[in-house]
Amino acid sequence: MSAEDRRIRKLTPKGLVMFNEQCEQLKSKTDETLAEVEDALVTSGTCAKDFQKIREVERLISVKFKDFCISSEDYKKYLLSQSTEEAVNLLNELEVSMNKCFSIVKRTSDELKETKFELLETLSHVSSNVSSFQRAKAQAERAKLELIKREGELLKQKTDIEAKISIVRQEKEIISAEADFTEEEKIDLPIYSREQMTSAFILKYGPSFRVRRTTTCSTRDNIPRSKTVDTNVGKWRTSV
């Protein structure tokens, strides 16, 4: 049954004063919570594409709208209990305000949800792209590591080969140097005659050492004679 169908009673002057005081308190509380809902709705325009900001605004609107529903429902119950012409008029005004508030809150909540879903979809694509990028980066880093290892192995092999070549080159130089030294010894080594060696021997061991060498030769009368060389005095002596 609507407010118009209810029995309308007339308030006494004292009852009207009390009614107005009570309505003023309830209406003030309802207006206060409605203003907070409006402020929360205004902040929804600052969310842009910020997912966390949207969630914060949604929570704020939900809390403020709940407070408004409680206060407006208390006000509505009181007006329904009075069944006066003044109460009917105030109730109609309250229902208009409540319906407008419900409509705006619902529309704003739907818009925020839609924006949030769009962001979630975008973020999921971004996350997928980031994951793909990270996988590609990891693969590139792994390939780079393998290349570094391979380069290290090749460098080690190159160092070993160079060391072996250096050893072989050094051995060749040593062999060549030894060969040159042997040739120089052959060239510089003096060649002595038998007489030079004999003289050197006598000079070394003294004049008291004699070497007698006897040879047979023929004379004019074909009489064999022996010839002795005295190495001590350097003269020839002939004996028959």
pLDDT digits (tens, 9 = 90+) for 138-193: 666 776 676 577 777 767 776 776 777 677 677 777 887 777 666 655 555 566 66
* Domain finish residue from 139, 154, 183: 139
**150 within a domain of the structure (yes/no):** no
Residue 239, pLDDT score = 44
Residue 93 sits in the same domain as residue 209: no
Residue 132 sits in the same domain as residue 200: no
Residue 31, pLDDT score = 92
What average pLDDT does range 37-43 have in this prediction? 90
Residue 125 sits in the same domain as residue 200: no
Looking at the structure of the chain, the number of domains it has is 2
How much of the chain is helix, strand and coil, in % rounded to 5? 75, 10, 15
d(C-alpha 109, C-alpha 62), whole Å: 9
Query: CB neighbours (10 Å) of residue 186?
Result: 8
Q: How many CA atoms lie within 13 A of 31 on its CB side?
A: 7
**63 within a domain of the structure (yes/no):** yes
What average pLDDT does range 95-122 have in this prediction? 89
**Above 70 in pLDDT, residue 39?**
yes
Residue 129 sits in the same domain as residue 201: no
**213 within a domain of the structure (yes/no):** yes
Residue 127 sits in the same domain as residue 216: no
What average pLDDT does range 31-42 have in this prediction? 92
* Domain finish residue from 75, 108, 139: 139
pLDDT tens-digit readout, 8-35: 778 788 888 998 999 999 999 999 999 9
Residue 57 sits in the same domain as residue 134: yes
As a whole number of Å, the CA-based R_g of the chain is 66
Residue 111 sits in the same domain as residue 37: yes
d(C-alpha 92, C-alpha 79), whole Å: 10
SS3 for 214?
A: strand
Residue 104 sits in the same domain as residue 29: yes
Residue 23 domain boundaries? 13-139
* Domain finish residue from 95, 119, 139: 139
Residue 128, pLDDT score = 55
Residue 134 sits in the same domain as residue 19: yes
Please give the structure tokens belonging to residue 22. 């009570």
**185 within a domain of the structure (yes/no):** no
User: Domain with 70 in it: what CATH number?
Assistant: 1.20.58
Q: What residues have CB less than 8 Å from 102, skipping those under 6 apart?
A: none
d(C-alpha 142, C-alpha 32), whole Å: 63
d(C-alpha 172, C-alpha 216), whole Å: 58
Residue 148, pLDDT score = 74
**177 within a domain of the structure (yes/no):** no
Residue 118 sits in the same domain as residue 35: yes
Q: Is pTM beyond 0.75 here?
A: no
